[in-house]
Amino acid sequence: MSTNKLIYIASTEDIVLQKLRWYKIADNYSQKQWRDVLGVLKTRRKILDFDYLRLWSNYLKLTP
């Protein structure tokens, strides 16, 4: 018996965007979210899709 199940896996970029959303919701006060974002940027910067991050951060109004 075979069952097909759909799973969703968040990309690194999507995790960064979500953490930035949480940071903004907390009125730019959540140091944990900010540290997490900085950690991801520091360790994964060579493979991040910055065009994707720019596009969605603008769409989600995460830019200043």
Q: What is the per-residue pLDDT across 2-57, written as a single tens digit (0 to 9) for each?
A: 788 899 999 999 999 999 999 999 888 889 999 999 999 999 999 999 999 999 99
Question: Which residue range is the domain that position 32 belongs to?
Answer: 19-59
Q: Is 2 a domain residue?
A: no
pLDDT at 51: 98
pLDDT at 16: 97
pTM tops 0.85, yes or no? no
Q: Is 50 a domain residue?
A: yes
pLDDT at 27: 87
Q: Is 13 a domain residue?
A: no
pLDDT at 30: 86
C-alpha to C-alpha distances, 37 to 1, 3, 5, 42, nearest whole angstrom:
43, 37, 31, 9
The total of structural domains in the chain comes to 1
Q: Is 33 within 8 Å of 22 (Cβ atoms)?
A: yes
